[in-house]
Amino acid sequence: MGLFGSKKTAMVAAEDALVGRDSEMVVPEAHFVTGNRLKPPFPANIEQIMVAMGCFWGAERVYWQAPGVFTTAVGYVAGFTPNPTYEEVCSGLTGHTEAVLVVFDPDVSSYEEMLAVFWQNHNPTQGMRQGNDVGTQYRSGIYCFEDAQLVVAEQSREDYGVRLRAAGYGDITTEIMAAPEFYYAEEYHQQYLAKVPGGYCGLGGTGVK
């Protein structure tokens, strides 16, 4: 994905962003791996976490393999363009980052454990890039559905930042904010690495637990 990504590392201004469209992306009803729903409504007992950690292909695979996960989906968040296409996001002119929506059972895995998956599977100190993938669509982020999640996420950033600095890394650049609208990515992106097991994955952690 990095080969086709934008090399722009500066956020586009809202007034300069692409116009987008009203129509939502058409996606499969069922998750390719779990067979569960890809879009709401979800079971009443579940919770959600939304994160961005670089190329969403590898990020989604990490999460669908995690304990207690009901379903996952990839999409675009925290930008300006409604219902963007992948090509538009890669142009750097929508402001979005590639994200994963994770629906999980809190009786099996906690929000804190879902955050541990996030922190430990990418390098959150790289700003507008992740490894060889460079551009605003590869920035790190946590997008919170309620105030309690926001508090926990910010505390986890502080705690993990201490450990990263002790290991010689720089400051965490992860953005943390209230969950914006999640625009589902195109069908072929959903569970991509299950459909193409040898596909590209630029995801890599720091080794810091």
- Sheet strands (E) in the chain: 47-53, 69-77, 97-104, 129-130, 133-134, 140-144, 175-178, 183-184
- The CA angle 91-95-97, to the nearest 5 degrees, is 90
Task: Please pick, among 55, 90, 144, 201, the residue that the annotation labels catalytic.
Answer: 55
Active site residue 55: yes
Q: Are 174 and 142 in contact (CB under 8 A)?
A: yes
**CA-closest candidate to residue 137, choices 25, 74, 15, 52:** 52
Q: Identify the sign of the CA torsion 100, 106, 109, 112.
A: positive
DSSP code, position 145? S
Q: Which two tokens stand for residue 61?
A: 């695979």
Catalytic positions, written as ranges? 55
